Amino acid sequence: MEPEKLAPHIEEISRALGGKLSDEEIAEELQKYLDVYKLSIPMAKRTIVKRHGGDATGFSAGFQRKLAEIRPGEPNVDFLAKVLSVNTKEITVKGEKKTIMFGFLGDDTTTLPYTAWEIEELPLQRGDVISVRGAYTREYQGRVQINFGTRISIKKEDPSMIGDVPIAQGPPKVVTVKQLRESMGFVEVKGRVLSIEERDVTVQGQPKKVWSGVLADETGKVQFSAWSDFKLKPNEVVRISRATVKAWRGIPQLSFDDRADLTKILEKFPSAEELQATGLSLISEIAARGGATDVTVRGVLVEIRDGSGLIMRCPECKRALQKGMCKIHGRVEGFPDLRIKAILDDGSGAVSVVMNRELTERLMGITLDESMQKAKDAMNFDIVKDAMDEQLTLKLVTASGSITADQFGLSMIVKEAQLAKVDVKDEAERVLVELEAQE
Amino acid sequence: MNAREVAWRVFAEEYNSSTLEHSGEGEKPVSYIVTPLGAKVNRMMVVGVVTDIEDIGEEGKQRFRARISDPTGQFYVSAGEYQPSAAMSLSKMSPPAFASIVGKSRAYTPEEGVKYLSIRPERIREVDADARDFWVLEAARSTLLRIEAVEEGLNMPKPTVGALMKLGYAENLADGVVRAIEYYKDIDTDRFRNSVRDALRSILPESKEKEHVQASATKHKAAAKERPPPETKEEELHEVKVGADEEDTVLKLMESLETDPRGTPWERIVEAAKAKKIDKVRLEEIVAKLLDKGEIYEPELGMMKRI
């Protein structure tokens, strides 16, 4: 690879190593990893940083993200954005006066507020397009805030790389339940309260009351937490303005307190029963939302995973035993259980699903006792998994439950599942008619 | 996010017309075949008819090659010792049979500009006709979504991932569409729309009949006078499309090219056919027909030979 192309990578390695190696040394080593060992650039960079005792954990792979993908609480983010506004303010930190810079950044996905804590050598101007490495994020009023600290590296780019970006400010965004995303700022959403309960919780050592439940419109359902008593009752239809969206394990949740405006409305709205019966969701849409409460997906079980079948569980903690051993309690007399761990894929995305004994028995048409008997007869536990593999792999299944997201993708603890039967003909005819109507 | 690669539902025609490979970023870069409609295929799922299975194992090592037809073309599948589950399933199957396959996309590039696409299967199961019909429906739907996304992209002065996402397309599709437009330039979406329509018709018996009557009415007016309407079977439809004289031309052509006992490379046939004013798409139809009839076969991927 040409040396000039390696320059930004060398700079990044140097930064991660805190100047332990000279640029020439890094260049030589990087070249060796790339040309001799044929490592990929990110891998080579990581290896060099680790080898010289640098911190490779927060070390970015030089991977720029869209602003809409950035989450609160990230220690190291890289992105390309346009500077939409630049303001300065004098603050007092530990008795010392200091000037900081703040404003908005934007790209073609969203706009976010930023604060620059060290403004020397940061000649930011409105309209600049900058590539940023090593920023960190916080949450502020339900919105991601980007911070430029001491580790920041900013490079000016060609301003035409990002076109005009409107600043998202002013009134709350009016959205449907399905459109709710983590950290989108103030939102206004309308829905029917499907359930609500009062709970006592402790927040930062203080006892507090929270009213939590499920709100639904025709696009989906969302968990909400009201931190102030709005005297909400089940089945009421309400418009909530100036709420914020937080995420619990990736699932967007609505949160609001006395800053919010809540109006009870009497217009026509789908009944609780209609809202309860969720339609099918696309896995790609759930992935874009970062998870979802109580949804139904339909797809093919593309893989029955290890850990499926007949397993033994620890009587103390119910963990699955590995060769008769519990990770926590050592060798124990386990009790048998059945489960399915599989990947369900609907063509738009994939979700890892776990089904309990009851669901497994129903899908397989065999009880736990019968499975135990079979395994004993064959003197082999694995035959239950083998049978599962034979019977369920590549079968079409409908599954309902909540879907959560983490770095390994989406997962669902399945509440309800069955083999799906689809009236292909009707649906195919409908698609064909639509297609022919376009011609 | 290390999310699992989705199993794309893609018709053979779209998959086999891909010539763009793309490698992702990160520690373990994922390789993709980017189709002309912007599907970034690493994993895929196909349900079709297994038309033949060949045991090509050597020295005690298992290896099977299979061909699977969908309404638009054929997929090539190869399973060896590193795909034990799929190889096992193939060893037990006897064609013709409906089969469902999930596997990884593979491209073989013997020389610059030539690509043969196949599937390296992870799992294969024999299924019923209902499962096949459902797959055709799903593949049709997802192809239509991609056609729509590509058309939106082609209408933009400079399509971007962000702009497509704003229209509601998922990020991986938006990214694939931007790459497809950049690489394939003018994408003939009508061609794919037509094959979706034909595929849907193929799983709806009544409309197939209607289509057939129309086709024979317009194309074979003269012939229809002399003989009663032909049997309403799909086979017949192909008969209408690919004339026997064209098949003859291609067979003769292959005979003249055949110097190597292993067969003739596909691209040489394409070249020679061009001289006879048979374009590639047409040639593919004729060759598919000849393969079906058993007049020719493919001794190895990319090679054609007369029987």
Q: What is the pLDDT of residues A363-372, one digit of tens each?
A: 999 999 999 9
Closest C-alpha to B258, from B301, B299, B289: B299
**pLDDT for A354 beyond 80:** yes
Backbone angles phi, psi at B118, to 5 degrees: -145, 180
- Give the integer Cα–Cα distance in Å for A276 and A294: 9
Q: Looking at the complex, does the CB of residue A349 fall below 8 Å from at least one CB of chain B? A: yes
Q: Is A124 touching B (CB cutoff 8 A)?
A: no
Residue type, A295: V
Instruction: Return the pLDDT at B2.
Output: 57
Mean pLDDT of A180-202: 85
CB proximity A163 to B under 8 Å: no
pLDDT at position A33 is: 74
Task: For residue A228, give the amino acid letter.
Answer: S
Residue of higher predicted confidence among B234 and B147: B147
In chain A, how long is the greatest CA-to-CA distance? 79
A396 touches chain B (CB under 8 A): yes
Structure tokens at B284: 């593919």
Q: Hey, are the CB atoms on A108 and B162 less than 8 Å from each other?
A: yes
A345 and B27 within 8 Å at the Cβ level: the answer is no
In angstroms, rounded to a whole number, what is the distance separating the alpha carbons of residues A264 and B288? Answer: 65
Distance CA A293, CA A402 (A): 5
pLDDT for the residue B223 = 40
Going by the DSSP 8-state scheme, the letter that residue B201 receives in this structure is H
CB contact under 8 A, B45 and A345: yes
- With cut-offs at 50, 70 and 90, classify the pLDDT of residue B209: very low
Spatial separation of the C-alpha atoms in residues A8 and A12, rounded to whole Å: 6
**Which of A159, A151, A168, A60 is closest to A105 using CA atoms?**
A168
Residues 22-41 of A with CB under 8 A from B: 40
What pLDDT is recorded for position A61?
Answer: 47
Q: Mean per-residue pLDDT for B78-90?
A: 92
| Residue of B25, B45, B165 with shortest CB distance to A302 | B45
Q: Does B104 touch chain A (CB under 8 A)?
A: no
ipTM summary value? 0.70
End-to-end CA distance of chain A: 50
| pLDDT of A125 | 86
Q: Check residue A2 and give its pLDDT.
A: 63
Output the pLDDT for position A203. 78
Residue A339's pLDDT is what? Answer: 96
B6 in contact with A, Cβ within 8 Å: yes
- Residue A56 sits at the chain B interface (C-beta within 8 Å): no
Q: Do B165 and A109 touch (CB under 8 A)?
A: yes
Whether omega for the bond prior to residue A3 falls within 30 degrees of 0, making it cis, is no
For B270-281, the pLDDT digits (tens) are 888 877 777 777
Q: How many CB pairs under 8 A join A and B?
A: 130
Contact B203 A288 (CB under 8 A): no
- Max CA-CA distance within chain B? 68
pLDDT of residue B228: 40
- Find the mean pLDDT for residues A195-218: 87
Chain A residue numbers touching B140 (CB-CB < 8 A): 428, 431
Nearest to B204 among A108, A285, A428 (CB): A428
What per-residue confidence (pLDDT) applies to A58?
Answer: 53
User: If you count them, how many residues does chain B have?
Assistant: 307
Mean pLDDT of the region A15-30: 84
Residues B302, B110: Cα–Cα separation, whole Å: 9
Q: Look at chain A and count its residues.
A: 439
Alpha helices in A305-411 (DSSP H): 357-364, 368-378, 382-392
CA distance B246 to B256: 15
A60 interfacial to chain B (CB closer than 8 Å) = no
Residue A310 near residue A336, CB atoms below 8 Å: yes
- In this predicted structure, the answer to whether residue A60 has a pLDDT above a threshold of 70 is no
Distance, C-alpha B12 to centroid of its chain: 2
Could you give the CA distance from residue B73 to residue B108 in angstroms, rounded to a whole number?
18
To the nearest whole Å, the CA of A349 is away from the closest chain B CA by: 5
Burial class (CB in 10 A: 0-12, 13-18, 19+), B85: middle
Q: Can you tell me the distance from the alpha carbon of B24 to that of B32, in angstroms, rounded to the nearest whole number?
A: 8
B93 SS3 class? coil
Tokens of A54: 């640098």
pLDDT at A43: 65
Tell me the torsion sign for CA atoms A374, A375, A377, A383. Answer: positive
The yes-or-no verdict on residue B208 having pLDDT over 80 is no
| Mean pLDDT, residues B180-200 | 94
At residue B236, the pLDDT reads 34
B161 close contact with A: CB closer than 8 A: yes
Smallest CA–CA distance, residue B52 to chain A, in Å, is 21
Identify the bridge partners of residue A217 per DSSP, sorted by sequence position. A220
Q: What is the Cα gyration radius of chain B?
A: 20
Q: Do B166 and A108 touch (CB under 8 A)?
A: yes
CA-nearest of B9, B165, B230 to A396 is B9
Per-residue confidence (pLDDT) for residue A404, from 0 to 100: 92
The overall pTM is greater than 0.95: no
How many angstroms separate the Cα of B133 from the Cα of each of A59, A325, B66, B136, B155? 48, 46, 21, 5, 33
Number of other CB atoms surrounding residue A303 within 10 Å: 23
**Closest B-chain CA to A392:** B125
List of chain A residues whose C-beta atoms are within 8 Å of the C-beta of residue B161: 66, 108
Write out chain B residues lying below 8 Å of A435, CB-based.
144, 193, 196-197, 200
The stretch A147-154 carries a mean pLDDT of 86
What percent of chain B is predicted at pLDDT more than 90? 50
Is A353 touching B (CB cutoff 8 A)? Answer: no
The predicted pLDDT at position A139 comes to: 80
Pairwise CB contact (< 8 Å): B140 & A409: no
Closest CA to A189 of A179, A199, A197: A179
Nearest to A424 among B2, B196, B203 (CB): B203
Query: Using 50, 70 and 90 to split pLDDT, how confident is the model at B230?
Result: very low
**A436 or A211, which is more confident?**
A211
Per DSSP, the three-state class of A59 is coil
For A348, residues 6+ apart whose C-beta sits below 8 A from its C-beta are: A282, A283, A284, A285, B6, B142, B170
- Measured between beta carbons, which residues in chain A are less than 8 angstroms from residue B8? 347
pLDDT at A167 over 70: no
Q: Which residue among A61, A345, A408 places its CB closest to the CB of B6?
A: A345
Contact B123 A428 (CB under 8 A): no
Q: What is the mean pLDDT of residues A347-357?
A: 96
| Beta-carbon separation of A350 and B171 below 8 A | no
Distance CA A410, CA A390 (A): 25
